[in-house]
Structure 1
């Protein structure tokens, strides 16, 4: 006697069993071959574990004796994040209008999209290395790096928001003979302003975190202080810096989360 299932069962992602298990086998085989063929020096890995033990052993307890140096590094990171956020957002606004297909003509649209793609193509560390080589070590390289990083994020999402606006308001102002800039100011900006404020807060938070990363390659901020501490084998001071970075990021994340909830 056949039985009827009295419970719901989630259907598989791929209905065809042969195709599904064949895909599983292919993925498992690829990962196995990749792991075997990677040039991993297991002896060096074992030695690295011993070094890691010495590093963690020397990091406890954390040392806050040079708190002045730590505070200077953090304040420099904060300045870098604020300047980069302001500069990146100011540049992102016109670039977002260029990259919105419902606002721009096609050549301008393609140019805007191309610039955004270029800004998004490289990791901030790579961009930081380029700017460090170009303008030298210090916070200027960090600001320029995070400006590019901000453009890649803010301009893209803002352009997508512009493409989603109610275009009826734009057409109404055009039919009334309003000039282009007035149409943008009174028909488009009110619709995108909440998203712009939210993106600005998020990008400031993101730039604060990224400033600690790009500083490791010489772009200023607390990341440079952390790199110098590791270079001097001051692991206890390095742990103190790391704790401050984590604490500041947690506070920043909580603060930006509250603001985003209020404006959403």
Structure 2
């Protein structure tokens, strides 16, 4: 091996001192943050003991009040479906307006700003705002999850449109077709499957989120769960959690079958 090749080999496996320094700084900050937040091993051990006693009080689950359980689950399912449907319908024009390859900048820029605004706050915070504005109940949950759906689906839909091939669009425009025909025959066929995938994912997400917004008074099984926690009714809490997990698993199976059928 010549001197030049040996030097090249040494350079190829040279240590990344910048990366090591970054990892060391991250580790040092993690230790500092843990000390500032009073995260200690002693507190963790106490927490594990309390968690064991808490879980012991949840066994066996109590399904005696199954009517209340089913009512809450059905309300959460209705909230998720309504919010997903409204969010999808509103996301279609928003995504088209936000796509920079189809809309001028003075249309796409404000639309993107609005979509970013929909994503800027957590859906639980939005649910609290709607509860304060329109009162307790499922309407606040539907409104909050509709806003969250718009922020998610419209952004992904716009990005999918920006990745399409413009050749079919130019061909349809050259044939003298109006704007609606361009969207129907040149744009939507290229993004239809991806858009359906986004919609199914958002429905799954809203089904999970609908169980959480009820904790702040926006309807659904979350309100029943929060009330059971306040009453220290932990065996009923276990039953509610098992029912929520079963509902989510069932939704995953159904959405998986739908995705497989669409491919």
Length-normalised TM-score, structure 2: 0.89
For 1:108 and 1:34, locate their aligned partners in 2 and report how far apart those are by CA, in whole Å: 44
Moved more, 95-104 or 182-191: 182-191
1:4 alignment partner in structure 2: none
Contact 1:170 1:188 in 2 (8 A): yes
CA gap 1:25/1:51 in 2 versus in 1, 3 angstroms: closer
Asked whether the 8 Å contact 1:198–1:263 carries over to 2, the reply is no
CA contact 1:137–1:218 (8 Å) conserved in 2: yes
> Deviations 1:17-52 (Å, cap 9, x if unpaired)?
432332222111111111111256999877765654
Give how far 1:178 is off: 1.5
Q: Which runs of 5+ in 1 are unaligned?
A: 1-10
| Preserved contact between residue 98 and residue 111 of structure 1 (Cα < 8 Å) | no
- Per the TM alignment, residue 260 of structure 1 is displaced from its structure 2 partner at its CA by 1.4
Q: Where do 1:121-200 residues align within 5 Å?
A: 121-200=120-199
Question: Which whole-Å CA distance do the structure 2 matches of 1:218 and 1:118 have between them?
Answer: 23
Aligned-partner Cα distance in 2 for 1:17–1:42: 33
The structure 1 segments of at least 4 consecutive aligned residues displaced by more than 6 Å after TM superposition are 41-47
Please give the root-mean-square deviation of Cα atoms over the aligned residues, in Å.
Answer: 2.0
Partner of 1:70: 69
The 5 Å alignment of 1:49-64 reads: 51-64=50-63
In 2: Cα distance, 1:127 partner to 1:89 partner = 18
Structure 2, unaligned stretches of length 5 or more?
Answer: 1-11
Question: In structure 2, do the counterparts of structure 1 residues 49 and 24 end up closer, same or farther at CA, with 3 Å as the change threshold?
Answer: closer
Q: TM-score, normalised by structure 1?
A: 0.89
2:131 and 2:41 map into 1 onto residues whose CA distance is 34
SS in 1 for 2:203: helix
